[in-house]
Structure 1
Amino acid sequence: MDSIDLEVLKSAAGWVADGLRCELVTVVKTWGSSPRPIGALLAICGDGRVVGSVSGGCIEDDLIEQVRLHGISRTTPELVSYGISADEAHRFGLPCGGTIELAIEPLSPASGLQELLSRLERRQLVERRLHLRSGAVSMAHAAPGANQHIEADVLCTVHGPRWRLFIIGAGQLSRFVAQVASAMDYHVTVCDPREEYRGGWNVAGVDLVHVMPDDLVIEARLDGRSAVLALTHDPKLDDLALMEALKSDAFYVGAIGSRVNNARRRERLKLFDLDDADLARLHGPVGLYIGSKTPAEIAISILAEMTAVKNGVPAALQVNHASALEPPGADACARAE
């Protein structure tokens, strides 16, 4: 499953390879409210086809109309603003006062999309530097915390997995979590030393390793863009990995299991010299309460909670399994061990 941005880049690279005229549109700045974030991508072909999105749809309609009326005639990148006035905000579906600035880049083989895709296939984090005056492109490795910015007429965009997710256990639930997380631009690593679980693993683009989970967590040097999920139901595998993760800078650490078993887990973890502040960081039972019953629904529940934590949503606004009053049978996989 490809992320939205990767789908845009692949489509644009395909059009370039076919000799079609096309452009890459990037959200550069926003003021006030805007439907899409900085860095959102859209590719538009000379025949009017588009992939991706930079607004709620109205700006896309205008870009398509301009291409149909005038074709693709740019030879160098151009910065274009929408929604400067109240009338334009109403016309383009932006909230009153909202403004969005786009970089529109004509594409060619020199744009380096194939090289970029090759690097992304190797799960590298890449900074693509576009010289706005000349259209020249260069690429380099990006630091984990890098963000899109403009410096001295150079638009620096960041591509690739900016977040890391380490999943302990290669079971069915892990498969669903890994698939969705990959589409959310996580670099996903699944760890399971049990051969019987690894044999049936077949999720493309996800690393599968068979070392002991605590060794993986230590070697990963977890930072504020890392998350760890323990999904094996086996304390011998989960507990030591959780111990290391809770002492790290990981932004999210979660474990599957019922309230009772998570309480027992916390008691065990106290024996590993973890204090109350460390244990308070453990999300368990893992996930937001959405009445989920199937592994796919439970995966959505888990990733919803991870996203809320990543985006700084206050805990008071989240209803998780630890505080929810669940009807009998709800979220069975998340509660039972």
Structure 2
Amino acid sequence: MTTWRLAGQIDDIRVPLADVQQRAEVCAIATLVEISGSAPRDPGAQMLISADDYWGFLSGGCIEADVARHGREAMAAGAARRLRYGEGSPWIDIKLACGSGITVLVEPVAATDQAVASLLDSHVTRRPVLWQSDGATRNVVAGGDAPAFAWDGAHYARLFEPVPRLVLIGEDGTALAAAAMAVQAGMEAVLITPGGPDQPPFPGIAYHRAAAPEALAAIGIDRWTAIAVLSHDREDDERGLAAALVSDAFHVGAIGARARLEARIAKLRGHGVSEADIARLHAPIGLHGFGKAPRDIALSLVAQVACAFHARSAAERSERLSISSTAPIASVSR
């Protein structure tokens, strides 16, 4: 390795794909479709490959440069190719540290492909969709309760859901640090500061100055959104928290001393919040074992949200048998 592969930490190809599409470039998408034994990534992991760069990783650095080379050759030839690494591979010089075998489908994709446009539109509008492909023809349909990934040996279907979004209500150092960390963690960050400055504190986040209930309504809270109330003793704290608890947010937390919790819960009851919704509240916010400095609290908060998001996703995958290397061909429509 002669340069740092900073793009390797990008796990969602949609952001670089939008940039590649704007430049009207042909690209290639490499999808991990099958594994034999253990592997660093689950089936469905992807890389995006352009003429001069690549994003994502499939096997912890063992094969990515070679996959990128094959991707560019597929782009030049205009035809997909299937690659086998590790066990059962023809390339004995490329070793997998995990000792397993993996299959990667590499497909060239034109910037004008309608499936790409549909995928990127769903990313902006936060709609789950199913990306279906046989390496030559792609299609995007509503995601619904589809498995996260399915492969029948010739076609695959990959579920793309909205990225986790963290809505922060507050204005102090903790709120700002949490917003920055959320962006770094690949989340969408939204800051609500009622009556705050005209401009957001830094780029890369959405910003609302209205009262929390009105701002939450304007944002449109979905089940991929977490909400954290980080303001201190605002008169409308509980109004915002009540609106958060009755929303579709998958996680709601609030900062504050344990000694104030009973009084806060009483106010929530006064706002008509049910006992079931009150039980959803994480307060005090964040994971245990962190310090009390703004960055410590922010780190514990972002870690708690990420943990909750992945725990819920894992539960849904288990219910839907969502991560699998094989599926009936009927599960992949064309």
On whether the aligned pair clears a TM of 0.5, the verdict is: yes
Residue matched to 1:55: 59
Residue matched to 1:325: none
Unmatched runs of 5 consecutive residues or more in structure 2: 1-6, 313-334
For residue 103 of structure 1, the aligned residue among 105, 110, 115 is 105
* SS of equivalent to 2:263: helix
> How far apart are 1:214 and its partner, in Å?
2.2
Q: Distance in 2 between matches of 1:34 and 1:198?
A: 48
Q: Distance in 2 between matches of 1:236 and 1:144?
A: 40
> How far apart are 1:305 and its partner, in Å?
0.8
Q: Distance in 1 between matches of 2:101 and 2:179?
A: 36
> How far apart are 1:230 and its partner, in Å?
0.6
Q: Distance in 1 between matches of 2:82 and 2:275?
A: 51
Contact 1:11 1:43 in 2 (8 A): no
For residue 83 of structure 2, the aligned residue among 63, 80, 85 is 80
> How far apart are 1:192 and its partner, in Å?
2.7
> How far apart are 1:232 and its partner, in Å?
1.2
Q: Distance in 2 between matches of 1:199 and 1:55?
A: 45
> How far apart are 1:42 and its partner, in Å?
2.0
> How far apart are 1:258 and its partner, in Å?
2.3
Residue matched to 1:23: 28
Q: Distance in 2 between matches of 1:256 and 1:112?
A: 45
Unmatched runs of 5 consecutive residues or more in structure 1: 314-337
Residue matched to 2:134: 132
Contact 1:225 1:251 in 2 (8 A): yes
Q: Indicate how the Cα distance of structure 1 residues 71 and 108 shifts in structure 2: closer, same or farther if over 3 A, else same.
A: closer
Q: Distance in 2 between matches of 1:109 and 1:274?
A: 48
Residue matched to 1:161: 162
Q: Distance in 1 between matches of 2:156 and 2:246?
A: 37
> How far apart are 1:179 and its partner, in Å?
3.1
Taking only aligned residues, the RMSD between alpha carbons, in angstroms, comes to: 4.2
Q: Does 1:33 align with 2:38?
A: yes
Q: Does 1:280 align with 2:282?
A: no
Q: Distance in 1 between matches of 2:286 and 2:67?
A: 40
Q: Indicate how the Cα distance of structure 1 residues 11 and 31 shifts in structure 2: closer, same or farther if over 3 A, else same.
A: farther
Q: Distance in 1 between matches of 2:202 and 2:161?
A: 18
> How far apart are 1:122 and its partner, in Å?
4.3
TM-score of the aligned structures, taking structure 2 as reference length: 0.69
Residue matched to 2:191: 190
Residue matched to 1:173: 174
Q: Distance in 2 between matches of 1:193 and 1:67?
A: 48
Q: Distance in 2 between matches of 1:156 and 1:205?
A: 31
Q: Encode CA deviations 1:274-295: one digit per residue, 9 max, x unaligned.
A: 4554333211111113433443
Q: Indicate how the Cα distance of structure 1 residues 84 and 224 shifts in structure 2: closer, same or farther if over 3 A, else same.
A: farther
> How far apart are 1:101 and its partner, in Å?
3.4
- 1:153-302 to 2 correspondences below 5 Å: 155-158=156-159, 161-194=162-195, 197-217=196-216, 222-274=221-273, 276-302=275-301
Q: Distance in 1 between matches of 2:308 and 2:258?
A: 20
Amino acid at match of 1:9: L
Q: Distance in 2 between matches of 1:121 and 1:202?
A: 25
* SS of equivalent to 1:229: strand
Q: Indicate how the Cα distance of structure 1 residues 79 and 261 shifts in structure 2: closer, same or farther if over 3 A, else same.
A: farther
The one of the two structures with greater contact order (alpha-carbon pairs below 8 A, sep at least 6) is: 2
Q: Does 1:9 align with 2:17?
A: yes
Contact 2:130 2:146 in 1 (8 A): no
Contact 2:213 2:240 in 1 (8 A): yes
* SS of equivalent to 1:266: helix
Q: Indicate how the Cα distance of structure 1 residues 188 and 160 shifts in structure 2: closer, same or farther if over 3 A, else same.
A: farther
Q: Distance in 2 between matches of 1:203 and 1:145?
A: 36
Structure 1 range deviating more: 33-42 or 143-152 = 143-152
Q: Distance in 1 between matches of 2:145 and 2:279?
A: 26
> How far apart are 1:177 and its partner, in Å?
2.2
| Identical columns (%) | 25
TM-score of the aligned structures, taking structure 1 as reference length: 0.69
Contact 2:71 2:106 in 1 (8 A): no
